[in-house]
Amino acid sequence: MKTAPCIDSAQTSVLVVDDHGVLADAIGMVINSEPDMHCVATAHSAAQARALAAYWRPDVIMMDVRLGGDDGIELAAELIHDAPDVRVIVLSAFIDQALLNRAVNAGACALMPKDGSLDQILASLRSSTRGGFDVDPTVLRTLARSHADRHGAPVPRLTPRETDVLRRLSDGADAVMIARELGISVLTCRGYVKTLLRKLHAHSQLEAVVTASRLGLISPTRHG
């Protein structure tokens, strides 16, 4: 049985999955030009991605949504199930609210547009975390405008503590992280999140962040 090869622990190891071979190789070259990163391999199909992920056990997988006849989001969920510590960054040329929700539910850590800047992709490789979710600011603005076109709602009144929780949700923090930062219990934090969802008429934390951005309650932010 093969064992995974030795990888420099000082570098973030990345597997790039994209059925467009030239693009995958180009992204790999950019990653390899960074001193703190290493592209261990590129995969052009779901089958290759499964095999290479099992062999290399990368820190991060960059996942295209469309892989020929396979669904990159379903593959991401499968790979995360097999390696819970892996971070998956989803890349897509076509992003809408439904894709964002699917990426979150699959356990991905970030959603980036294929036509976005390489600097933003590299920043996401460095800053995204398991349990958090990083969204490109341009994507967030587009979704916010789309949401505004469909829904007109008054600006809700938030307490200072609710605003603190909301800002940290927009940074990709989960309830445990927020509770620790604010010095409150996880149960109390989840109560604030539940109230925010109700006030913002949102069905998920990400929808709450998008709605809050549209209403001017917070500004889209990024790590890194």
Question: Which pLDDT belongs to residue 211?
Answer: 80
Q: List beta partners, residue 121.
A: none
Question: Which pLDDT belongs to residue 170?
Answer: 85
pTM of the model: 0.67
Q: Give the separation between CA 119 and CA 21, rounded to whole angstroms.
A: 21
Pairing of strands 37-43, 60-64: unpaired
136 CB-contact burial (10 Å; exposed 0-12 / middle 13-18 / buried 19+): buried
- Indicate the domain borders of the chain: 12-135, 144-214
Question: Which pLDDT belongs to residue 16?
Answer: 97
Class of domain 144-214: mainly alpha
Q: Give the separation between CA 50 and CA 117, rounded to whole angstroms.
A: 27
Q: Give the separation between CA 152 and CA 187, rounded to whole angstroms.
A: 31
Pairing of strands 87-92, 60-64: parallel
- Mean pLDDT by runs of 10 across the 224 residues of the chain is 57 95 92 96 96 97 92 96 96 85 92 86 91 82 62 76 91 89 94 92 83 75 42
Question: Which pLDDT belongs to residue 120?
Answer: 87
Task: For residue 81, count other CB atoms closer than 10 A to its CB.
Answer: 11
**Considering only CA atoms, which of 200, 64, 88 is closest in space to residue 144?**
200
98: its two tokens: 């439904």
- The full length of the chain comes to 224
170 contacts: CB under 8 Å, gap ≥ 6 = 209, 212, 213, 218, 220, 221
- Quick one: CATH architecture of 12-135? 3-Layer(aba) Sandwich (3.40)
96: its two tokens: 């809408």
